[in-house]
Amino acid sequence: MIGILWNLGAFLLALGILIAVHEYGHFWVARRCGVFVERFSIGFGKSLWRKVGKDGTEYTLAMIPLGGYVKMLDERVEEVPADKRHMAFNNKKLWQRSAIVAAGPLANFVFAIFAYWVVYLIGVPAVRPVIGEVAPQSIAAQAGIESGMELKSISGIKTADWESVNLAMISHIGDKEMVLTVADAEGGYESQRTLDLSAWSFDPESDRVLTTLGITPYSPEITLTISQLVDGGAAIDAGLRLNDEIVSINGETVTQWQQVVEAVRSHPEQPLALEVMREGELTALALTPGAKEGPGGEMIGYAGFAPKVEPWPESYRINLQFGPIEAIGKATEKTWQLVTLTFDMVTKLVTGDVAMKNLSGPISIAKGAGMTADYGIVYFLGFLALISVNLGIVNLLPLPVLDGGHLMFFAIEAVTRRPVSERVQDIGYRVGSAILVALMAVALFNDFTRL
């Protein structure tokens, strides 16, 4: 219950910030174009708080926090006194109306740059994208990718860390090939490798992009020494102690921690005979793992212990931290990468290269908000930047109920030299609303199937 409330709180905070940024973009440009703004509202429905500013605008915080709006003086909506007609939105020049509408999505992009600028000022700990293993006969192996290589860029996009690698690779869904620039194990000589994606099968919902290509990131050695025990867990009940080193399970010698994981998971509520090295002596123990339901509904075992992991080599660790000026360039570059990736994904959603089941709604966003809030301000800001870019691009889609639809009507007006008729606009709004509701229904359905 606490987790749900935490996710909800983080979601509302994130949504409130992004809505305020988007609507403020419209508001700021409207004021500079001489349009009178009657109301600036965060949320819909009944007002929880309101205040009329010296500028005559009513600022409102409403009950339903799933959007917002800027109500401008407009003769198409209501009668406007003669002395205020020059301040009505509909009486402004075409470029001014276009600027006001486009300012909302633009504000989202500017906010993403600002958020990443703060992130890079604070610094983000990361590791270099060095390849640990390459699966035989995989797409990566066939392209000549080898263990120890470092991924420097993907199709021209620089990849300083694994997050950048994942974003760049996901953008290639539906493409025929992917060009990687890699450095050899010594980190000196760079070369290009072309991955043939014609047989690539990747489901963002269930697969890891690297795994489907046959790449496993380098990670420090996982030892067989126990470093953590869960209170009340099966491991403590069995008599296991910190610093015990697992030697064998059911008489079979153990050399990798994955063998321990597989043995425990495959023996729910079934005894396992363990031998551990404790202070230089072999000790025999009986471990009976607990049982819980796995992702596929099957019962799997768990024991409540974790191994000691060797520290990352210093040469692999990096801190993405920059000065105030350099951080602007890095933040702009990161935002542009997200913009192009999101545009690509939207296009591939329309063409069918990305399945509709990968569309996410507010529940998935709430989970993401809560998770990143747990990790700290840097990761929460990164999440805000990602969602802000998505919000900006979605609003640019040419659906009449969105900013992109208004811009589409303005573009037609620029060509025909006369506004689109109200009848055509009304039909457009109805069709656009139906499409938007259908997309939201699919997104919510996908959210519920993931619960």
For residue 367, pLDDT over 60 is answered with no
Classify residue 137 as exposed, middle or buried by CB count within 10 Å of its CB (0-12, 13-18, 19+). exposed
For residue 154, pLDDT over 60 is answered with yes
Cα–Cα distance measured from residue 181 to residue 163, given in angstroms and rounded to the nearest whole number: 16
CB 99 within 8 A of CB 106: no
| Closest C-alpha among 233, 231, 240, 289 to residue 261 | 289
- Of 120-134, 145-159, 195-209, 245-259, the range with the lowest mean pLDDT is 195-209
Determine the pLDDT at residue 114.
95
Q: In this structure, which amino acid lies at residue 168?
A: A
Give strand ranges (E) for 108-244.
124-127, 131-134, 150-154, 157-158, 177-183, 190-196, 215-217, 222-229
Q: What pTM did the predictor assign? A: 0.77
With tokens 């935002």, the residue in question is: 335
222-309: what fold?
A: Pdz3 Domain (2.30.42)
Give strand ranges (E) for 240-304.
245-249, 252-253, 272-278, 281-287, 290-293, 299-302
Q: How far is CA 95 from CA 74, 92, 408, 413, in A?
A: 16, 8, 13, 11
For residue 443, pLDDT over 70 is answered with no
Sequence-distant (6+) residues with CB within 8 A of 276 are 240, 244, 245, 246, 247, 282, 283, 285
Evaluated on CA atoms 52, 53, 56, 61, the torsion sign reads: negative
Classify residue 328 as exposed, middle or buried by CB count within 10 Å of its CB (0-12, 13-18, 19+). middle
Mean pLDDT to the nearest integer, 266-289: 91
Query: Where are the domains positioned within the chain?
Result: 125-220+311-320, 222-309
Mean pLDDT to the nearest integer, 39-44: 88
Determine the pLDDT at residue 30.
93
For residue 305, pLDDT over 70 is answered with yes
Rg (C-alpha) for the chain, rounded Å, is 28
Determine the pLDDT at residue 376.
67
CB 338 within 8 A of CB 143: no
- Of 187-191, 237-241, 257-261, 385-389, the range with the lowest mean pLDDT is 187-191
CB 58 within 8 A of CB 52: yes
Mean pLDDT to the nearest integer, 378-387: 84
Determine the pLDDT at residue 36.
92
Classify residue 322 as exposed, middle or buried by CB count within 10 Å of its CB (0-12, 13-18, 19+). middle
For residue 162, pLDDT over 90 is answered with no
Mean pLDDT to the nearest integer, 175-182: 89
For residue 369, pLDDT over 50 is answered with no
Percent of the chain exceeding pLDDT 90 equals 25
CB 213 within 8 A of CB 235: no
CATH homologous superfamily for the domain 125-220+311-320: PDZ domain (2.30.42.10)
Classify residue 179 as exposed, middle or buried by CB count within 10 Å of its CB (0-12, 13-18, 19+). middle
CB 213 within 8 A of CB 195: yes
| Closest C-alpha among 99, 100, 93 to residue 72 | 100
CB 127 within 8 A of CB 317: yes
- Of 73-82, 214-223, 367-376, the range with the lowest mean pLDDT is 367-376
Mean pLDDT to the nearest integer, 116-127: 90
Known active-site residue 23: yes
For residue 160, pLDDT over 50 is answered with yes
Determine the pLDDT at residue 407.
92
Domains 125-220+311-320 and 222-309 share a fold: yes
